[in-house]
Amino acid sequence: MFYSFIVPAFNRPDEINELLGSFTRLSLPASSFEGFEIIIADGSPTEILVPVIAEYKDRLQVEHLHRPRLAISPARNWGAEKAQGEYLIFLDSDVILPPTYLVHLHSSLLKNPTDAFGGPDAAHPSFSPTQKAISFAMTSYLTTGGIRGGKKQLHAYNPRGFNMGVKKEIFKKMNGFSSLTCGEDIELSIRILEAGYSVRLIPEVFVYHKRRNTFKSFFRQVFRFGAARINIYYYHRKELKLTHFFPSAFLIFLVAGVISFFFSKLIFTTFLLLTGIYYLAVFITATLKEKNVWVGLLCLIAATYQLSGYGSGFLANAFEVFVKGNKNGLSLGASK
């Protein structure tokens, strides 16, 4: 079995260097394994990634496709056109593969073949405390409900583009990624499921996902995610679930709770109690997971940014679409 890894890129040479370096440290499966290739679909305005990729040409089968200002979906689709593998595996440029990635993937697909799959993401021990806190906020059941690859999920699992695989023949039948500028990976996952193909979470096939390194950039990212959920609704009317309203409800709860200080001491006290219970649960869970009190404290900020960012994006785009009548929704350019 041969695999094609496709990585959309836009500048960030240090990330590409780390990702390619992790490929050189992969353990290889023992049987029925024909190798893998890496395709970097590069939209950088300049040739900044050329020298980085050149460093790995003698150690990896890597192809560099470059078209300035190439958007993420066209980049992935272009990489898929050039790919030779039976499975296309899409990764974000800010991930690092653990050495066991291919061994677990190959073993799982041999034992239990599937048309498409995804794996969760995690924080590497070398990540900064802020990155670990952001990783917790994006993966914990207390913040996202486990929808990004948790063991427990409230509805059907949709692989995400940071760690997503699909058979090449099925990817072609689906006509690849859509023109959405955010949420395009979820939209493709939904189409694959609606077409009746099998989709599976493989928990052992995880990646270390660096994500954003500041809370400001993290807020902008999750704002786009929340807004994108409304756009996905126009493609798939059954895909707006109750869980997608939770961050907006949390945001409204916070705002209303603060305002209640001026009107009712009882309501404000109740608000503080409920908020305190939630944040205590986040702090304890994060501290035990990371074995670090400082990361636990930072997770309180990360959880607030994750929920309020997603919730405000969701509400802002809902207003744009349902009240103002703009079916295209907010402009969601590429994430910076």
Note whether residue 333 is domain-resident: no
- Residue-level pLDDT at 113: 94
* Strand order through the sheet with 121-122: 95-96, 207-209, 121-122
- Residue-level pLDDT at 146: 56
- Residue-level pLDDT at 97: 97
Domain end position, chosen among 161, 179, 211:
211
Note whether residue 174 is domain-resident: yes
Note whether 248 and 199 are same-domain residues. Answer: no
Chain length of the chain: 336
- Residue-level pLDDT at 147: 54
Nearest residue to 160 via CA among 42, 72, 85, 101: 72
- Residue-level pLDDT at 140: 87
Nearest residue to 249 via CA among 183, 155, 322, 315: 315
Note whether 44 and 164 are same-domain residues. Answer: yes
Domain total of the chain: 2
Identity of residue 254: L
Note whether 155 and 35 are same-domain residues. Answer: yes
Domain end position, chosen among 211, 244, 274:
211
Note whether 123 and 238 are same-domain residues. Answer: no
Query: What token pair was written down for 304?
Result: 């607030």
The string of pLDDT tens digits covering residues 43-96 is 999 999 999 999 999 999 999 999 999 999 999 999 999 999 999 999 999 999
Question: What is the rounded CA–CA span in Å between residue 237 and residue 239?
Answer: 6
Residues whose CB falls within 8 Å of the CB of residue 54, separated by 6 or more in sequence, listed in order? none
Note whether 56 and 30 are same-domain residues. Answer: yes
Question: What is the rounded CA–CA span in Å between residue 93 and residue 304?
Answer: 26
Q: What is the CATH number of the domain that holds 199?
A: 3.90.550.10
Note whether 121 and 26 are same-domain residues. Answer: yes
Identity of residue 99: P
- Residue-level pLDDT at 145: 60
- Residue-level pLDDT at 243: 80
**Alpha-helix runs per DSSP H in the chain:** 13-24, 50-54, 72-82, 101-111, 129-139, 141-144, 168-173, 184-194, 215-235, 246-259, 265-290, 293-318
Q: Domain range spanning residue 311? A: 229-323
Which H or E element spans position 91? strand 87-91
Question: What is the rounded CA–CA span in Å between residue 61 and residue 30?
Answer: 19
Note whether 153 and 126 are same-domain residues. Answer: yes
Note whether 91 and 197 are same-domain residues. Answer: yes
Residues of the chain with pLDDT under 50: 149, 152-154, 335-336
Note whether 70 and 36 are same-domain residues. Answer: yes
Question: What is the rounded CA–CA span in Å between residue 181 and residue 194?
Answer: 21
For every residue of 154-182, which 3-state class applies, written as one string? CCCCCCCCCEEEEEHHHHHHCCCCCCCCC
